[in-house]
Amino acid sequence: MTTTDEAATTAPRHRGSRRVTWAGVLAVLAIFGPGLIAANAGNDAGGIMTYASAGSQFGYRTLFLMVLITVALVVVQEMCSRLGAYTGEGLGGLIREQFSARSTTAALVLLLIANAGLTVSEFAGIGAAMEIFGVSIYASIPFAALLVWLLTVAGTYSKAERVFLILSLAFLAYPIAAILAHPGAGQVASNLLLPHFVRSHAFLVLAVALVGTTITPYMQFYLASAVVDKGVTPSTYPKERVDSVSGSIWGDIISMFIIIATAAAIGGSGPLTSARQAAEALVPAVGSLAPELFAFGLLGASLLAASVVPLSTSYAVADAVGAPRSVTAPLRDAPLFYGLFTLQIVIGAGIALVPGNLVTLIINAQVLNGLITPMLLTYILILAGRRTVLGNAVNGRWFRVVATICVAAVAMLSFVVLLETVLGLG
C-alpha cells in the first residue's frame, strides 16, 4: 500500500517526466527550419504539376527515378547547409571568393535564367489555382504579386511563410488519396525498387523536368543563405543536418505519393492539360472537394515559392557583390537586394499573364531548370571538396564519390535530352 509520503515523492517525478517528454518534443520540432522550408518550397507549382504529369503519362514508371533523385537531393542539400554553417556565407559569396570573376558571372547568369523561369511558373501556378475558384488570372496574378512583395518588403515575410506552409499542408491529402485509390502494392514496390524506364524522348524530357523541379538550384542558394541568416554554426550544425536531410526525404516522399495517386487515378491518360485534371487524383481521399483542396494547396505552395525563388536570386547576387541582404533589413538599407527581388516579381507575374496553357508553361520551366542544374551543382561539389573552404568538414572520401556520381548522372541525362532536342530526335 502506498503511503502519503511515498505518493508525495513519486508525484513530482511523474510531472518531471512529463516535462522532459514535452521538452524532447519541442527540441525535435525546433530542429526543423531552412531544410524543411526549402524542401516544401520545392513541392511548388512546378513540382506538383510535374509529378502529377509523370503519373498521368507514365503511371508508376518514374518512381525508381525518384528514389535516385532523392539520394542526390539529400547529398546536395547536406553540402549546401554545411557550407553555410561552416563558412557563414551564402553560395554567391563563396563562388565569388573561390572562383574567377568570369566563373562567378556565369554562375549568377545561370541562376538568374533558371529562377526567372521558375518565378513565372509560380505565378502561373497561382493563376491555375485561382481559376479553379473561378477567378481570372488577370485579377489573381497581379494581386498575388503585390501581396508577396508587400509581405517581404514590409518585414512580415516570416509570418506569411507560416501561412503559406499551412496552406501547403493540403498536399498531405495525396498520401491518403494514394492509399485509398488501391494502386496495387506489388506494382508500386516493383517500380520503386527496379527501373521500368521507357525508351522515348518524352520520358527523358520528363525525367529532366523531375530533376529540375526536385534538385532546384534556388533551393540550394536559399538553403545556404537561410542557414547563415538563422545563425547556425559548426557547433549547432548537427541539428541543421537533421533538418536538411529529413526535409529532403520528407519532400520527396510527398512527391512520390503525388505520382502514385495520379497514376492510380488517371495513369495512361497522357500529359496534364489543366490543374483541375491534376486534382482528380485527390478524389479518393476527399471526393467532390478535391478541386478546391488541390487549389488551396497549389495556392499555398505557389505563394511560398513565389517568395523563396526570387529571394534566393537576390541573396546570391547580393552575396556575390558584397551588398547587404536580409529580409529583416529595411528597404533603404538593402536597395540591390530588394530591387532585384521586385524586378523578378514584376517580370514573372507579367509573363504569366501572357495567354497560353499554364500547365505546359509550368512544366517547360522545370525542363529548363533541369538543363541548368548540373552546371550549378558542379560549383557546389567543388566548394564542398575544398579543404581551404571547409577545413576538416570537407567532403569525406565516400561522400565525395557519391556526390560526384550524382552530379555526373544529372549532367549526362541533361546532355542527352539537349542533344536529342538539338538533333530533332524528339
Q: What is the DSSP letter of 395?
A: P
Q: Do 295 and 49 meet the contact criterion of CB atoms below 8 Å apart?
A: no
pLDDT of residue 161: 62
Which residues have a Cβ under 8 Å from the Cβ of 12 and sit 6 or more positions away?
none
Q: DSSP readout, 377-426?
A: HHHHHHHHT-HHHHGGGSPPHHHHHHHHHHHHHHHHHHHHHHHHHHTT--
Q: Is 415 helix (H, G, I), strand (E, B) or coil?
A: helix
Q: Within 13 Å and on the Cβ side, how many CA atoms surround 227?
A: 35
The verdict on residue 40 lying in a domain is no
Tell me the residue type at 347: I
Burial of 27-46, coded b for 16+ CB within 10 Å and e otherwise, reads eeeebbbbbbbbbbbbbbbb
- The whole-number mean pLDDT for each consecutive block of 10 residues of the chain, a chain of 426 residues, reads 45 44 42 64 80 92 94 92 91 88 88 88 92 93 92 69 67 82 87 88 90 86 82 87 87 90 86 84 83 85 83 79 70 82 93 86 86 90 93 91 91 84 65
pLDDT of residue 22: 40
Would you give the end-to-end CA distance of the chain in angstroms?
82
Element spanning 315, H or E = helix 290-321
**pLDDT tens digits, 306-356:** 887 888 788 778 877 777 766 666 677 778 888 889 999 999 999 999 887
| Phi, psi values for residue 376, rounded to 5° | -75, -35
pLDDT of residue 240: 85
The verdict on residue 24 lying in a domain is no
E strand spans, 264-345: none
Q: Is 336 exposed, middle or buried, given 0-12, 13-18 or 19+ CB atoms closer than 10 A?
A: middle
- The pTM of the full predicted model, rounded to 2 decimals, is 0.83
CATH of the domain at 248: 1.20.1740.10
CA–CA separation, 169 vs 344, rounded Å?
26
CA–CA separation, 107 vs 84, rounded Å?
18
Tell me the residue type at 276: R
> How many CB atoms within 10 Å of residue 323?
14
Q: DSSP readout, 131-195?
A: HHTT--HHHHHHHHHHHHHHHHHTT-HHHHHHHHHHHHGGGGHHHHHHHHT---HHHHHHHHHS-
> Hunting for cell 527523358 — which residue is that?
204
pLDDT of residue 167: 67
Range of the domain at 84: 45-422
The verdict on residue 34 lying in a domain is no
pLDDT of residue 4: 43
pLDDT of residue 394: 92
pLDDT of residue 160: 62
E strand spans, 35-162: none
Measured CA to CA in angstroms, residue 271 lies from 4, 25, 37, 288, 343 at distances of 72, 43, 29, 23, 32
Q: What is the DSSP letter of 370?
A: H
The verdict on residue 375 lying in a domain is yes
> Hunting for cell 563558412 — which residue is that?
87
Tell me the residue type at 343: L
The verdict on residue 29 lying in a domain is no
> How many CB atoms within 10 Å of residue 221?
33
Burial of 141-150, coded b for 16+ CB within 10 Å and e otherwise, reads bbebbeebbe
Provide the domain count of the chain. Answer: 1
The verdict on residue 252 lying in a domain is yes
The verdict on residue 125 lying in a domain is yes
Q: Do 226 and 33 meet the contact criterion of CB atoms below 8 Å apart?
A: yes
Q: Do 208 and 50 meet the contact criterion of CB atoms below 8 Å apart?
A: no
Q: Is 199 helix (H, G, I), strand (E, B) or coil?
A: coil
CA–CA separation, 43 vs 107, rounded Å?
24
pLDDT of residue 16: 46
The verdict on residue 17 lying in a domain is no
Burial of 167-194, coded b for 16+ CB within 10 Å and e otherwise, reads bbebbebbbebbbbbebeeebbeebeee
pLDDT of residue 328: 66
> How many CB atoms within 10 Å of residue 408?
14
Q: Do 251 and 39 meet the contact criterion of CB atoms below 8 Å apart?
A: yes
